[in-house]
Amino acid sequence: MPAGETETRTEAPAEISATPAVTVIVVSYNTRALTLEALRSLLAETDMAALEVIVVDNASADGSADAIAAEFPLLKLLALADNIGFARANNLAAKMARGKYLLLLNPDTVVLERAVDRLVAFARAHPQARIWGGRTLFADRTLNPASCWGRMTPWSLFCLASGLKALFPRTGFMDPEGMPDWKRDSIRHVDIVSGCFLLIERALWEELDGFDSSYFMYGEDADLCLRGKRLGAEPLICPDAAIVHYGGASEPVRADKMIRLLKARVTLMRDHWPSWLRPLGTLLYRLFPLPRMAGYRLAAAIRSKPSDRSQFETWRSIWRARRDWLAGYDRSERR
């Protein structure tokens, strides 16, 4: 263990099985209140005899590590001296895991009605899938569709870049990645399970060597699932395993977040598209901010709303940063 990188704060509780069925990994970063709520719900709604929990705190500045240690002194806690990113933090915890399954659980979630137990039982009943996900809800218990996705294709990217997806948000033909015409209320194979609530065989995780750590934030779950499918995995959604996932609720587009998302998507395109298609993908991404800039500029001129002007400035900042995000992630950071 590199000096100064991590500190193990606590040990596993004696009451948890020596051979747990599932190891739950929670990576936190400046989400103290949410992380505590997530852990409370996890422990209250899960069979403790079959559970191992590893929490990695990515050098939070809000006292998360101390609060977790104080309220849950028996959980395994790794308090990191530096923020090493979501992918590397999960990889670090997975090396310590003892469960047959690994469950990646976001800190901004609430486990509902034995969701983890249900998902593990579902995995045992459908072992051929090797990767499983559940149903995610917003805080008001309406559907949060971001529990799973379709793979990125030239058509889906064209719809996204051109604005067709925004114009027809409830049409699966215009949004094949988001699958908006499916309420996540039936068992269904998908391309990508979101890393907010992702169950995977530990054996498959190890075969894949975990997350590609060059994906510092966003995209690592899509890359993992797509690589898993190459090895025969068939990711499957269990509609009866539901959690609240606060993230992804409607919020204004922020330049810094969108730049990270675009950087991840460009990297996914280059990693998973054939070489002859990548120039088309790069062109579509280059054009991506332009219709949004034009739309908000026109709206600002017509309606004179500060929010329209603000969104125009946001998309102009994204456009100006295109050289950064079109380069994708730094591949020298890959393990």
Model pLDDT for residues 200-211, shown as the tens digit of each residue? 999 999 999 999
CB 197 within 8 A of CB 147: yes
Does residue 250 form part of some domain?
A: no
Strands 51-57 and 76-80, by their bridges, are parallel
CB 194 within 8 A of CB 224: no
Does residue 44 form part of some domain?
A: yes
* Domain count for the chain: 2
Does residue 311 form part of some domain?
A: yes
Which CATH number goes with the domain that contains 10?
Answer: 3.90.550.10
What average pLDDT does this structure show over 227-236?
98
Residue 129 has pLDDT above 80, yes or no: yes
Does residue 1 form part of some domain?
A: no
Residues 219 and 263 reside in one and the same domain: no
Cα 202 from Cα 100, distance rounded (Å): 6
**Following CA atoms 82, 83, 88, 92 in sequence, which dihedral angle do they give, to the nearest 10 degrees?**
50
Residues 78 and 182 reside in one and the same domain: yes
Residues 172 and 283 reside in one and the same domain: no
What average pLDDT does this structure show over 148-165?
95
Does residue 102 form part of some domain?
A: yes
Q: What is the pTM of this model?
A: 0.90
What is the extent of the structural domain holding 61? 6-245
Residues 88 and 131 reside in one and the same domain: yes
Among residues 186, 213, 245, which one ends one of the domains? 245
Residues 81 and 191 reside in one and the same domain: yes
Residue 1 has pLDDT above 60, yes or no: no
Among residues 245, 266, 289, which one ends one of the domains? 245
Among residues 226, 245, 264, which one ends one of the domains? 245
Residues 224 and 272 reside in one and the same domain: no
What average pLDDT does this structure show over 15-31?
84
Handedness of CA 96, 97, 103, 105 (dihedral sign): negative
Tell me which residue has tokens 């900042």. Answer: 317
Q: What is the pLDDT of residue 254?
A: 86
What average pLDDT does this structure show over 157-168?
92
Cα 83 from Cα 3, distance rounded (Å): 14
> What does the pLDDT look like over 92-107, one tens digit per residue?
999 999 999 999 999 9
Residue 8 has pLDDT above 50, yes or no: no
- Please give the mean pLDDT across all residues of the chain: 91
Residues 222 and 280 reside in one and the same domain: no
Residues 149 and 168 reside in one and the same domain: yes
Q: Does residue 333 or residue 33 have the better pLDDT?
A: 33
Residues 52 and 135 reside in one and the same domain: yes
Q: What is the pLDDT of residue 48?
A: 83
Residues 286 and 160 reside in one and the same domain: no
Cα 154 from Cα 156, distance rounded (Å): 6
Residues 274 and 237 reside in one and the same domain: no
CA atoms within 13 A on the CB side of 187: 8
Residues 237 and 204 reside in one and the same domain: yes
